[in-house]
Amino acid sequence: MTIDNRGFLDLLHARCQAMPEAEFMKFGAQTLTFADLERSSRAVAVALKRKGLVSGDRVAVMMANRPEVAALLYGLARSGLVWIPVNPQQRGVGLKYLVEHSSPKVILVDEDKISSLKECGADLGQTDIISFSGTNETIGDLLGARGDWSEHPTDAATLFAIMYTSGTTGHPKGVLVTHGMMRFAAEAAALLADARDGDRLHMWEPMYHVGGAQVLLMPLLRRISIQLVEKLSVSNFWEQVQTLGCTHVHYLGGILQMLLKRPASQIDRSHGARVGWGAGARADNWNTIQDRFGISLREAYGMTETASIATFNGDGTPGSVGRSVPWFKVEVLDEMGAPVPAHTRGEIVVTANVPHALFSGYFRNEEATRSALRDGKMFTNDIGSFDEAGRLFFHGRKTDSIRCRGENVSAMEVEQVVILHPAVADSAAVGVEAEIGEQEIKLFVELKPGFVVSETELSAWLSKRLAPYQNPRYVAFVSSFERTPSERIMKHKLDKSVEATWDRNQGPERQASLNAGAAR
C-alpha cells in the first residue's frame, strides 16, 4: 500500500466536496453529515480564535460520547489547538493531577461533571470552564458561531492531543500525539477491521480513549459511517448492533469474555455483524467466540505511543496479534538488545519506517521519554514472541511479571487458567511482598452471578493446572473490578495487603477464623 504521512484534515475537506450529505455519524435519532461536521468544526475554530486562543494552546474535553464531541475535536484540530482528553468519570487527586499537569486554557465539560472538576482541588483560576448551560458562553455557542475559517494545519508534525495513559504505578504519562499519528491510527484501524465501503461501525468506545479517537477518522478513509452509542452495554450489546445495522464491532480488554458470560440467545448469530476487531481475544476461546457470535476476529497489538496499532492479525491465527503495519518495524529483543529466535520471549520494540508514525515523547516527563525512546526505538515494556512464520504473540507486561520462588511468573498466564473455572467471571493476579525472598502471588477473583466456590476449592482446582510456583498463595474474592476506559482491570488499585486474606499456607483453623471474621 502507499503510505501517506500527512495529517487528516485535508481528507475531511475532500469528503465534504465529494459527498457533503453522506452520513458521518448517527446517534439515536440524530444524524451528523460530513457537511454538518465541516460547518460545526469551522464554527468551533472561529469561536476559540475570538477567545484569544492560538495554535498550541491546550483545551481539555471532559464529556461523554455524543456527536457534538466529534465536532469539537475536529474544531480543535482545525484551529491547531491541542486536545486534552479527560475521562468524565475522573475525580479527586487523579483529576487534579491531570488538570494541573496539562494546564489547559479552556475546559469543555458536561454540566453534571462541573462539580467533580471544581471539587478536585486543582487551581482553575485562569481556566475558562464551558458547558452546555450557563449564563455566559456555552458549548452550543461555540458550535453555532458565525464567521470565516479556511485555515487548518497540514503538517503531520503538528500536535493534536496529549493523551494520558493510565499506568500501574505513579502518575499517568501524557503521550504527545500528532496529526500524523492520528492519521496512521485510523489507517491501521481500517486495515485491522477490513473496513469496506458501505460498512457501519458500532462505536461504544469513549472518544477520550485512543481506541475511540481513531474511529472518528475512519470515515475519512473509507465510505463508512459511525453508529455511536453513549457507552458500552454488555446486556444489550447485540441488540444494539442489530438495530443499528452494524457490520463491525470493536472489542478491548475483557469485553469478549463478558459477552461470552451472557446467556446464549438467538441474536448471538442473527445480529448481522461480520467482523470483531480490537485487542484482548485469547487463543483458548478464539474459536468459541467466532462460532457462537458468527464474527471473524481480527486482533491487534499496540499502544497510544505507537499510534494505537503496531501489528494486526489478518490471517485468523488464534491468539496471534499478527504482523506489523507497513509503517512500523516490530522486533522482539533480549536484554542485550539482540533479536531472539522464534518461540523465544523478549521485549517488543517498535521502530517507525516513516516520519510522524511514532510518538516523540511524554509531555513534561523527560525521564519517562528517555526510558521508552532509545535510538529511535520504542521499548514497550511488553513481552512477546514470534512464531516461525513471523507472527507476533503477546505475553503480557514486563511489569506484570511476578518473581516467585526463583521463577518469573506471568500474571496473564495465571489469569488465563483461572478464567477457565466454570464459576469465575474474571480474575487478576498480582505480586505481593513475601516474608522471605522475592514475591508471592495474590489472586483476586470475581465470581459469576449465582455461582459459589470456596478459596480452598479454587486453589485445589488450580493446583492441577498450574505449576506449584504459579499457584497463588493468597486468594481474595471481589464483587467487581475497577476498570480503565478500555475495560482493563486497574491492578494498581487492588489491595496488596495479605493480613486478612485466605492463605494457602495456613491451616484449616486459620481459614475458619478468616471466614468467621468476614461473616461478621
pLDDT recorded at residue 257: 84
Q: Render pLDDT for 388-409 as a digit per residue (tens, 0 to 9).
A: 999 999 988 887 878 787 677 8
Mean pLDDT of 19-28: 97
pLDDT recorded at residue 152: 85
The domain 405-519 is placed in CATH, from the list 3.30.300.30, 3.30.565.10, 3.40.50.620, 1.10.8.290, at 3.30.300.30
- pLDDT surpasses 90 at 386: yes
The Cα-based distances of 310 to 324, 349, 358, 390, 404 in angstroms read: 6, 10, 10, 14, 32
Cα–Cα distance, 9 to 16 (Å, whole number): 11
Mean pLDDT of 225-234: 94
Q: Which residue stretches of 277-323 are H helix?
A: 286-293
Cα–Cα distance, 440 to 473 (Å, whole number): 6
If phi > 0 it is left, if psi is from -120 to 50 it is alpha, else beta; for residue 52 that is left
Instruction: Classify domain 9-386 by CATH number.
Output: 3.40.50.12780
Residue type, 285: N
Neighbouring C-alpha atoms within 13 Å toward the C-beta of 96: 8
Domain borders along the chain are 9-386, 405-519
The label of the residue with cell 521485549 reads 347
Q: State the angle between helix axes of 67-78 and 9-18 in degrees (0 to 180), rounded to the nearest 10.
A: 120
The closest alpha carbon to 131, from 62, 44, 194, 183, belongs to: 62
Tell me what percent of the residues of the chain surpass a pLDDT of 70: 95
As a whole number, the mean pLDDT across the chain is 92
pLDDT recorded at residue 8: 94
Report the 10 Å Cβ neighbour count for 207. Answer: 24
Global pTM reads 0.84
Confidence of residue 457 (pLDDT cuts 50, 70, 90): very high
On whether the CB atoms of residues 13 and 115 are closer than 8 A, the answer is: no
Task: Name which residue leads in pLDDT, 511 or 55.
Answer: 55
Q: Looking at 58-150, which runs of residues are DSSP E strands?
A: 58-62, 82-85, 106-109, 128-130
pLDDT recorded at residue 129: 96
Q: State the angle between helix axes of 9-18 and 34-50 in degrees (0 to 180), rounded to the nearest 10.
A: 130
Q: Render pLDDT for 195-211 as a digit per residue (tens, 0 to 9).
A: 999 999 999 999 999 99
Residue type, 132: F
pLDDT recorded at residue 178: 97
Question: Strand order of the sheet with strand 58-62?
Answer: 128-130, 106-109, 58-62, 82-85, 159-165, 173-178
Cα–Cα distance, 405 to 300 (Å, whole number): 33
